[in-house]
Amino acid sequence: MRYLPLTPDDRADMLARIGAENIDALFAAVPADKLLQAPPDLPRHKSEMEVERMLSRMAARNVSAGSVPFFVGAGAYKHHVPASVDHLIQRSEFLTSYTPYQPEISQGTLQMLFEFQTQVANLTGMEVANASMYDGSTGCGEAALMAHRITRRRKAVLSGGLHPHYADVVRSLSQMTGDNVVSMPADARANEDLLSQIDDSVSCVIVQSPDVFGNLRDLKPIADACHAKGALLIAVFTEVVSLGLIEPPGAMGADIVVGEGQSIGNGLIFGGPYVGLFATKQKYLRQMPGRIAGETVDAEGKRGWVLTLSTREQHIRREKATSNICTNSGLCALAFSIHMTLLGETGLRRLARLNHANAVKLADALTAAGVEVVNDTFFNEFTVRVKGDATALVERMAAQGVLGGVPASRLSPNAGVDDLLIIASTEVNTDEDRAALVAALKQ
Amino acid sequence: MSTIRYTKDHEYISVDGDVAIVGITDYAQAQLGDVVFVELPTMGKSFKKGEQAAVVESVKAASEVYAPVSGEVVEINSELEGAPALVNEDSVGKGWFVKLRITDQGELGALMDEAAYADYLKTLD
Amino acid sequence: MLNNQGRPTQPVEAVAPHVRKTFTGHRALAMEEGLIFEIGRAEVTGVDVDDAGEFTPRLGKLERTTPIDLPGLSEPEAMRHYVRLSQKNYAIDLGLYPLGSCTMKHNPRLNERMARLPGFGDIHPLQPVSTVQGALELIDTLADWLTEMTGASAVAMSPKAGAHGEACGMMAIKAALEARGEGAQRRVVLVPESAHGTNPATAALIGYDVRPIPARDDGTVSVEAAQAALGPEVAALMLTNPNTCGLFEPEVVAIAQAVHAAGAYFYCDGANFNAIVGKVRPMDLGVDAMHINLHKTFSTPHGGGGPGAGPVVLSAALAPFAPVPFIRKDADKFAFVEHAEGTQSFGRMTAFHGQMGMFVRAMSYMLSHGGDGIRQASEDAVLNANYIRVCLSDVMSAPFGDKPCMHEALFDDRWLKGTGVTTLDFAKAMIDEGYHPMTMYFPLVVHGAMLIEPTESESKASLDLFIMALRDLAFSVQKGETERFSGAPYYSPRRRLDETRAARTPVLRWTKRKPIPAANQIAAE
């Protein structure tokens, strides 16, 4: 077995040194009738070549995004990731290291996290950010709990434009803790009246922009209404590239900003691992979940970094911790940070503009072809109304080799949105891709 | 003229009339190591004896501080927010936590005086 | 000289006298490196993006009006920045990483290649199900292997990490109790004092009261202690097995029976499953739910703190309450159940289907090892730990005497008493010897704990050198050579860091201010 260095002779020598008759003598605490006498009923070990053959066969049964005209979004986006990003995150010292508990020999990870936190804070227009969450949706659930701790209220109001999966995560958790959730109905035109929902009992309002249908939301009036009643505004995004072109949530008064960072540095990978971005105001720092890297000096006075404020965390506070989170999404945060560093301000703004331009071109082409675009505003994703059932249409387009979007009903069944199709267009789409989609949709 | 009493959890209470200053003892701060944050209650909050009144955090530990007697918070040491090191440097002076208006003077009788606390410390370790 | 809080208590000589200062601050291959905010420029970019051309924006009035303040680096600059940073990290690929309970085993590179096949790495979670049949086949196959190795009825694949898996398992338990009409009555979760902090944090997160149960001196739980704490108000008992002291819970079967007799569920923290996989099936012991850290047992890389993956195996009683999405196998194809309506599922843990990238890696690991290799890996992990335990037992003190351990060997600090050297000092001196320290001060029930987990990835020669190095350090302690420990580490990229300063005056992001000069700037001044 190529991953196991011990030889049979080594094992015999070591058992003799230990004074154990055989290996099972070391498993003596296991009840004898529960100790398996043979390996589990599974295939025997395989060579690298055999494993590669088996898994490649499975992989070949999937249609990869890069192989077709591709317009699927709704929470995860196909972008080009520079080759250097994937090379760097596979360096042994990043890939095969643990959480930086020993700062003297983890300065690489710690400095990177400090840079990541600064990038996230600057992008969102907030004062502090943590070292990442599992993904945007779990971060959203944590944000609601954080708002409950700060306001000492237990009621969240969810916008109808919040990604339905994110809303499900918040609801599932709230159901367990007995907290209140008010969910506004799915609303493709962003006409909902959130303000009338905000009263003295509300802990937080959770609003996504661009929302799941692609609409841009002005958060300022919602933030003002929240603050007038002592509630917090949680701003959510699923497409972080949008922050290169639109006003950041921090500038519009958000108290907590949480979003999905997958678009930068990370592939689609069928839904994970991704990287949750989480930022807030300085005054709420101690209620923020997750790990944080901070600056300090070493014994020689040289600048360095450590994990800090860990007394909020589970390994010290146990049942009084701010969250049960242990692991963050370190390597995905690294990929994000490297890609963002490569882009820089100039590159990100250009990328965001190109995404928006491609979506506008597509929307114009669809409108010209007689397809109804629902949105007034959007970034790189918008919703169209189709004739009949969008799910059947998407299947038909897939059969023709076009992955043409996400039926809104796949996210929200029984919500009366069967004829809505959510379409994303990023920098990867060519004129030919757009033509293929328009042709497929016109049929 | 104030009198100081102590709890087994190493809080001290310095009583002057019906108002008392509460903090943690020098022994407690030494055990905790470098204090980095103190979470204080809000003004006007009332505690029963033994309820959690504050949390004191060092780099690697967080400890709860309990109200030695029942009372209402009339003042908090807001200096600790910017200078938690005061707890280490001067725990019974500038490193105090809260001032309580005592609701039941009778509860003081159950606490240790200076000599009893010194004897109690000898039993530890 | 530093105290045990990591804070310098008296000035340390800046550098050893024989070390010359360099102009750049670098020391040959050890490079100093500034922050991207110091070396980058807003106008520089390492990505060529096509010009968008002329078009009419559809942003309403929400176009960004403020600068973002993001520095950019060209590709050669970025390569150098991140390669230099990487060289300040310890890694499994550099040396033995004996971090107890964290399981730092070899990460096969085949797994990385497989996860990057476009058919896995470049597919979208919301593509039509007909276009991802191979992905569902992989998840389903992985689930089959996990149920076979644990004896479970079902497995919830979506949890993102161990703690997330714990929450998932406990939410399934809560849903099952509610379905039985006992949700309001059963409000308490029992957690041994020796448990990892995530257990009580998870129980509290989903609204349970946590009741600690006492552990014996060796961290194990007696059936009497469990029984004394059980009652009609108890929802579940959470137990780590093998436990946090590296011991198999000898009374686990009787404890499970007592839990079930009291009408509660038995949650097992599977963080240490790597010691017994292929040797014992947890469900045979009476477990109802257990999370599996794919990043520990099945070697998906830790990546400097994640991503992990925490699938949860469930007994037949809990299987109906598993979260969406789950896979349904129809005659000739796989289907997805993505919504809880019309099922008993408690809901959803995360936006999509879980950590697919980790699933592929774990599947690749399992196929490579096979049933036989997985069993051998557990045996070797236990053998290696016991070898270390026995070879160090005459110089260090083991809290439980000569009792065999599972996959990790635990020592306490009795042998350091009166020497002026603490567990922390000893650990930092290991850094100078080229080792990552073991887990220390955990589990909390053992004073000055040192928890050593070598894993199955070490050769005998590697173990022997490690043992000799630790023996040499131990002799140094005995000889009173305290400066080898009190100032350690001497040779790492940074000496001990001032954690008190970091926590008292948190600096959590870069801002335009006078920064603490980097070492190369000090040299230049």
Question: Any idea what the CATH number is for the domain that residue C354 is in?
Answer: 3.40.640.10
CB A140 within 8 A of CB A236: yes
Residue A180 touches partner C, C-beta closer than 8 Å:
no
Determine the Cα–Cα distance for residues C18 and C352; give it in Å rounded to an integer. 57
Q: Highest mean pLDDT: which of B2-16, C121-135, C436-450?
A: C121-135
pLDDT for position C9: 42
Determine the Cα–Cα distance for residues A4 and A27; give it in Å rounded to an integer. 20
Chain C 134-153, CB below 8 Å of chain A: which residues?
Answer: 134-135, 137-138, 145, 148-149
CB C237 within 8 A of CB C250: no
* Through-space distance between the first and last CA atoms of chain C, rounded to whole angstroms: 28
Here the ipTM equals 0.97
Q: In angstroms, how far is CA B8 from the centroid of its own chain?
A: 11
| Chain C positions in Cβ-Cβ contact with residue A100 (cut-off 8 Å) | 89, 304-305
For residue A142, the distance in angstroms to the closest alpha carbon of chain B comes to: 22
Question: Would you say residue C388 lies in a domain?
Answer: no
Does the beta-carbon distance from A128 to C138 stay under 8 Å? no
pLDDT for position C4: 44
| Chain C positions in Cβ-Cβ contact with residue A46 (cut-off 8 Å) | 367-368, 370
For residue A138, the distance in angstroms to the closest alpha carbon of chain B comes to: 26
Band of the pLDDT at B125, cuts 50, 70, 90?
low
CB C505 within 8 A of CB C429: no
pLDDT for position C14: 47
Question: How far apart, in Å, are the Cα atoms of C230 and each of C226, C256, C267, C276, C330?
Answer: 6, 11, 14, 27, 42
Chain C 335-354, CB below 8 Å of chain A: which residues?
Answer: 338-341, 346-354
Question: Would you say residue C508 lies in a domain?
Answer: no
Residue A129 touches partner C, C-beta closer than 8 Å:
yes
pLDDT for position C199: 93
pLDDT for position C16: 56
User: Burial of A332 by CB count in 10 Å (0-12 exposed, 13-18 middle, 19+ buried)?
Assistant: buried
Task: Name the neighbours of A, counting chains with at least 3 Cβ pairs within 8 A.
Answer: B, C
- A interface test, pick of C313, C349, C350, C468 with most A CB neighbours within 10 Å: C350
For residue C467, the distance in angstroms to the closest alpha carbon of chain B comes to: 29
For residue C76, the distance in angstroms to the closest alpha carbon of chain A comes to: 10
A299-308 pLDDT, tens per residue?
Answer: 999 999 999 9
Residue C20: partners with Cβ closer than 8 Å, 6 or more residues away:
none
Helices marked H in A66-131 — which ranges? 83-89, 92-95, 107-124
Does the beta-carbon distance from B61 to A310 stay under 8 Å? no
| Chain B positions in Cβ-Cβ contact with residue C496 (cut-off 8 Å) | none
For residue C439, the distance in angstroms to the closest alpha carbon of chain B comes to: 15
Question: Would you say residue C153 lies in a domain?
Answer: yes
List the single range of A192-196, A426-430, C278-282, C518-522 with lowest mean pLDDT: C518-522
Residue C335 has pLDDT above 80, yes or no: yes
pLDDT for position A34: 96
Q: Is A298 helix (H, G, I), strand (E, B) or coil?
A: strand
Q: Based on the structure, what is the number of domains in chain C? A: 1
Does the beta-carbon distance from B62 to A317 stay under 8 Å? yes
Q: Which of A288, A259, A305, A264 is nearest to A125 (CA)?
A: A259
Residue B25 belongs to what domain range?
3-123
Q: Which domains does chain A have, with CATH numbers?
A: 66-81+345-442 (3.90.1150.10), 83-339 (3.40.640.10)
Question: Would you say residue C343 lies in a domain?
Answer: yes
pLDDT for position A204: 98
Does the beta-carbon distance from A306 to C499 stay under 8 Å? yes
| Chain B positions in Cβ-Cβ contact with residue C6 (cut-off 8 Å) | 59
Band of the pLDDT at C2, cuts 50, 70, 90?
very low
Does the beta-carbon distance from B34 to C4 stay under 8 Å? no
Determine the Cα–Cα distance for residues C382 and C400; give it in Å rounded to an integer. 17
Determine the Cα–Cα distance for residues A178 and B58; give it in Å rounded to an integer. 33
Residue C187 touches partner B, C-beta closer than 8 Å:
no
Please report, for the domain that includes residue B112, its CATH number.
Answer: 2.40.50.100
Residue C327 belongs to what domain range?
111-366
Percent of chain B residues past pLDDT 70, beyond the cut: 98
User: Burial of A285 by CB count in 10 Å (0-12 exposed, 13-18 middle, 19+ buried)?
Assistant: middle
Residue C5 has pLDDT above 80, yes or no: no
C202-212 pLDDT, tens per residue?
Answer: 999 999 999 99
Q: Which of A51, A91, A346 sits opposite C72 (nearest CB)?
A: A346
Q: In angstroms, how far is CA A282 from the centroid of its own chain?
A: 23
Q: Is A231 helix (H, G, I), strand (E, B) or coil?
A: coil
C88-102 pLDDT, tens per residue?
Answer: 999 999 999 999 999
pLDDT for position C286: 97
Amino acid letter for position A181: V
Determine the Cα–Cα distance for residues A29 and C404; give it in Å rounded to an integer. 9
Determine the Cα–Cα distance for residues A58 and C140; give it in Å rounded to an integer. 12
| Chain C positions in Cβ-Cβ contact with residue A294 (cut-off 8 Å) | 502-503, 506-508
Residue C342 has pLDDT above 70, yes or no: yes
Q: Which residues of chain A have pLDDT under 50?
A: none
**C265-300 b/e with 16+ CB inside 10 Å = b?**
bbbbbbbbbbbbbbbbbbbbbbbbbbbbbbbbbbbb
Which residues are C210's β-sheet partners? Answer: C189
Question: Would you say residue C522 lies in a domain?
Answer: no
pLDDT for position C525: 34
Question: Would you say residue C115 lies in a domain?
Answer: yes
Does the beta-carbon distance from A313 to C197 stay under 8 Å? yes
C453-501 pLDDT, tens per residue?
Answer: 999 999 999 999 999 999 999 999 999 999 999 999 999 999 999 999 9
Q: Based on the structure, what is the number of domains in chain B? A: 1
- A interface test, pick of C48, C75, C89 with most A CB neighbours within 10 Å: C89
Residue C114 touches partner A, C-beta closer than 8 Å:
yes
pLDDT for position C3: 39
Residue B38 has pLDDT above 50, yes or no: yes
pLDDT for position C371: 97
Closest-CA residue of A relative to C151 is: A40
Determine the Cα–Cα distance for residues A65 and A426; give it in Å rounded to an integer. 12
Determine the Cα–Cα distance for residues C346 and A172; give it in Å rounded to an integer. 7
Determine the Cα–Cα distance for residues C516 and A301; give it in Å rounded to an integer. 9
Which residues are C289's β-sheet partners? Answer: C267, C314
The residue whose two tokens read 């961290």 is C219
Residue A326: partners with Cβ closer than 8 Å, 6 or more residues away:
A314, A315, C161, C162, C163, C198
Size of interface A-C (CB pairs under 8 A): 736
Q: Which of C519, C466, C434, C301 is nearest to A327 (CA)?
A: C301
Percent of chain C residues past pLDDT 70, beyond the cut: 94
CB C289 within 8 A of CB C311: no
Amino acid letter for position B32: L
CB C313 within 8 A of CB C150: yes
For residue B113, the distance in angstroms to the closest alpha carbon of chain A comes to: 32
